[in-house]
Amino acid sequence: MSNIQFEDYLNEQLKDPELKKEFDNETTKLESAIALSEVRKSEGLSQRELSAISNIPQSTIARIESGSNTSVDTLTKIANAIGKKLVIKFS
Protein backbone atom coordinates (compact mmCIF):
# COMPACT_ATOMS: atom_id res chain seq x y z
CA MET A 1 0.00 0.00 0.00
CA SER A 2 1.45 3.37 -0.99
CA ASN A 3 1.29 6.50 1.07
CA ILE A 4 -0.71 9.42 -0.24
CA GLN A 5 -0.31 12.99 0.89
CA PHE A 6 -3.40 14.44 2.51
CA GLU A 7 -3.35 17.49 0.26
CA ASP A 8 -3.33 15.25 -2.82
CA TYR A 9 -6.20 13.21 -1.42
CA LEU A 10 -8.19 16.33 -0.57
CA ASN A 11 -7.65 17.85 -3.99
CA GLU A 12 -8.88 14.65 -5.59
CA GLN A 13 -11.98 14.57 -3.39
CA LEU A 14 -12.73 18.23 -4.08
CA LYS A 15 -13.25 17.42 -7.74
CA ASP A 16 -16.72 16.32 -6.65
CA PRO A 17 -18.81 19.54 -6.98
CA GLU A 18 -21.14 18.72 -4.09
CA LEU A 19 -18.29 17.89 -1.73
CA LYS A 20 -16.44 21.06 -2.80
CA LYS A 21 -19.54 23.16 -2.09
CA GLU A 22 -19.88 21.72 1.42
CA PHE A 23 -16.14 21.99 2.06
CA ASP A 24 -16.16 25.66 1.04
CA ASN A 25 -19.19 26.38 3.23
CA GLU A 26 -17.54 24.80 6.26
CA THR A 27 -14.26 26.59 5.56
CA THR A 28 -16.04 29.94 5.51
CA LYS A 29 -17.73 29.23 8.85
CA LEU A 30 -14.42 28.22 10.39
CA GLU A 31 -12.73 31.36 9.08
CA SER A 32 -15.48 33.42 10.74
CA ALA A 33 -14.98 31.47 13.96
CA ILE A 34 -11.25 32.14 13.93
CA ALA A 35 -11.74 35.84 13.12
CA LEU A 36 -14.16 36.33 16.01
CA SER A 37 -11.97 34.45 18.46
CA GLU A 38 -8.88 36.41 17.42
CA VAL A 39 -10.52 39.83 17.64
CA ARG A 40 -12.09 38.98 21.01
CA LYS A 41 -8.75 37.89 22.41
CA SER A 42 -6.93 40.88 20.90
CA GLU A 43 -9.40 43.11 22.74
CA GLY A 44 -8.60 41.23 25.95
CA LEU A 45 -12.17 40.02 26.37
CA SER A 46 -13.56 36.73 27.58
CA GLN A 47 -16.64 35.34 25.89
CA ARG A 48 -18.65 36.41 28.93
CA GLU A 49 -17.32 39.98 28.76
CA LEU A 50 -18.01 40.20 25.03
CA SER A 51 -21.50 38.89 25.69
CA ALA A 52 -22.14 41.60 28.25
CA ILE A 53 -21.08 44.49 26.03
CA SER A 54 -22.70 43.18 22.84
CA ASN A 55 -25.96 41.86 24.33
CA ILE A 56 -25.33 38.59 22.51
CA PRO A 57 -25.64 35.48 24.68
CA GLN A 58 -22.30 33.95 25.67
CA SER A 59 -23.57 30.63 24.35
CA THR A 60 -24.04 32.22 20.92
CA ILE A 61 -20.50 33.58 20.96
CA ALA A 62 -19.21 30.13 21.93
CA ARG A 63 -21.19 28.52 19.10
CA ILE A 64 -19.84 31.01 16.56
CA GLU A 65 -16.29 30.41 17.77
CA SER A 66 -16.79 26.66 17.42
CA GLY A 67 -17.77 27.05 13.78
CA SER A 68 -21.56 27.18 13.91
CA ASN A 69 -23.35 29.30 11.39
CA THR A 70 -24.39 32.81 12.37
CA SER A 71 -25.96 35.87 10.83
CA VAL A 72 -24.39 39.04 9.55
CA ASP A 73 -26.65 40.88 12.00
CA THR A 74 -25.12 39.06 14.98
CA LEU A 75 -21.56 39.64 13.76
CA THR A 76 -22.38 43.32 13.15
CA LYS A 77 -23.68 43.73 16.73
CA ILE A 78 -20.50 42.17 18.07
CA ALA A 79 -18.29 44.34 15.86
CA ASN A 80 -20.09 47.52 16.86
CA ALA A 81 -19.87 46.63 20.55
CA ILE A 82 -16.06 46.51 20.36
CA GLY A 83 -15.71 49.53 18.10
CA LYS A 84 -14.90 47.53 14.98
CA LYS A 85 -16.42 47.50 11.54
CA LEU A 86 -17.53 44.19 10.05
CA VAL A 87 -16.10 43.84 6.55
CA ILE A 88 -17.43 41.18 4.22
CA LYS A 89 -15.83 40.51 0.88
CA PHE A 90 -16.17 38.02 -1.89
CA SER A 91 -12.93 36.69 -3.27
pLDDT tens for each residue of the chain, 91 residues long: 578 899 999 999 999 999 999 999 999 999 999 999 999 999 999 999 999 999 999 999 999 999 998 999 999 999 999 999 999 988 8
59 domain-assigned = yes
DSSP classification of residue 82: T
67 domain-assigned = yes
44 domain-assigned = yes
Separation of alpha carbons 84 and 86, rounded Å:
7
Domain with 34, as residue range(s), is 6-81
86 domain-assigned = no
Say which CATH number the domain at 50 has.
Answer: 1.10.260.40
pTM confidence score: 0.81
Look at the chain and report how many structural domains it folds into.
Answer: 1
61 domain-assigned = yes
C-beta atoms surrounding 37 within 10 Å: 15
